[in-house]
Amino acid sequence: MLVKFLLPALLLSTAVAANAQQAAKAPAPTAQAANTLTPEQQAQLAKQNQQMAQAATQVAQQIDQNQAGDIWDGASTVAKSVATRDAFIKQAATDRKTLGSVKTRTVEAVTRTQSNGQKIPAGEYINVVFATTFSKEAQPVRELVSFHLDGDNTWRLAGYTVH
């Protein structure tokens, strides 16, 4: 399910790209490494988590406003290599139409992953998970916004999915 929109999905708009660029200039540590971080490194990680959650919120809000094309325009080359702009827009509209409008959206987690390229393109990813309540769903739905650390050390949108 992650691949459904991971790469066929979200691209950051110019504003979101600026926030994501500021969010990190260095690779994200793994969860195991986080246990051995200094207090200063932990603070930096917490700040990056907050910045990435804000960038992901902006992406989700653009999806809410039917601006999937704008999102795709600013996405990582990883995302663009998996889906065309039209396919991304169509899938986002189809998925969201069945869910209705957003009632609440809460960040549940910010996680980091390193891919070796077997299931998704190789590289470092930051994933922001939301519990989102939609008007046509009784239970919260999981929204996932993924960012990829591109070769220029900038975090850009890699994907968006709901399920």
Domains of the chain (ranges plus CATH)? 2-162 (3.10.450)
With the C-alpha atoms ordered 6, 58, 129, 116, is the resulting torsion angle positive or negative? positive
The predicted model gives 83-112 an average pLDDT of 94
Determine the residue type at 156.
R
User: pLDDT tier at 119 (50, 70, 90 boundaries)?
Assistant: confident
- Is the pLDDT score of 121 beyond 50? yes
Least confident of 26-40, 89-103, 142-156: 26-40
Name the band, by pLDDT with cuts 50, 70 and 90, for residue 20: very low
State residue 6's pLDDT score.
37
pLDDT in tens, 59-83: 999 999 999 999 999 999 999 998 9
CB contact at 8 A, 147 and 20: yes
In 3D space, the residue among 88, 70, 69, 90 whose CA is nearest the CA of residue 79 turns out to be 88
3-state secondary structure of 73: helix
Asked if 82 and 158 touch (Cβ cutoff 8 Å), the reply is no
- How much is the CA Rg of the chain, to the nearest whole Å? 15
Average of pLDDT values for 78-106?
93
According to the model, what pLDDT value does residue 54 have?
98
Percent of the chain with pLDDT over 90: 69
Count the Cβ atoms, other than its own, within 10 Å of residue 82: 22
**What's the CA gap between 88 and 72, in Å, rounded?**
7
Say whether pLDDT at 106 is over 90: yes
Provide φ and ψ at 56, rounded to 5°.
-65, -40
Residues 16, 58 contacting (CB under 8 angstroms)? yes
